[in-house]
Amino acid sequence: MTIFSWAEQKVQRLSIWDFGVFKICLISIGMVAGAWLSGFVLANMELFITVFLVTWAWLFFRMLRKP
């Protein structure tokens, strides 16, 4: 089993809600990375990091749980 077949198998088990959470995860980490010096992001850094960690953990556990 290659890494690609493993990933394809895992992705097929994800629902539309999981992909929505994935988008939120990417948006939150992109805002932090893309606007690191922005006052808004720096003022709300804890919120963005929390959103990223929660969405990442959600996806991580959904991908690794047994069927």
Q: Is residue 4 part of a domain?
A: no
Q: What is the domain count for the chain?
A: 1
Q: Is residue 29 part of a domain?
A: yes
Q: Is residue 2 part of a domain?
A: no
Model pTM score:
0.53
Q: What is the pLDDT of residue 37?
A: 66
Q: Is residue 28 part of a domain?
A: yes
Q: Which residues lie closer than 8 Å to 62 by C-beta, 6 or more apart?
A: 13, 14, 18
Q: Is residue 55 part of a domain?
A: yes
Q: Is residue 20 part of a domain?
A: yes
Contacts 24+ apart (CB under 8 A), 16-25: 18/58, 18/59, 18/62, 21/55, 21/58, 21/59, 22/55, 22/59, 24/51, 24/55, 25/51, 25/52, 25/55, 25/56, 25/58, 25/59
Q: Is residue 6 part of a domain?
A: no
Q: What is the pLDDT of residue 10?
A: 80
Q: Is residue 15 part of a domain?
A: yes
Q: What is the extent of the structural domain holding 41?
A: 11-64
Which regions in the chain score pLDDT beneath 70?
Answer: 1, 37, 66-67
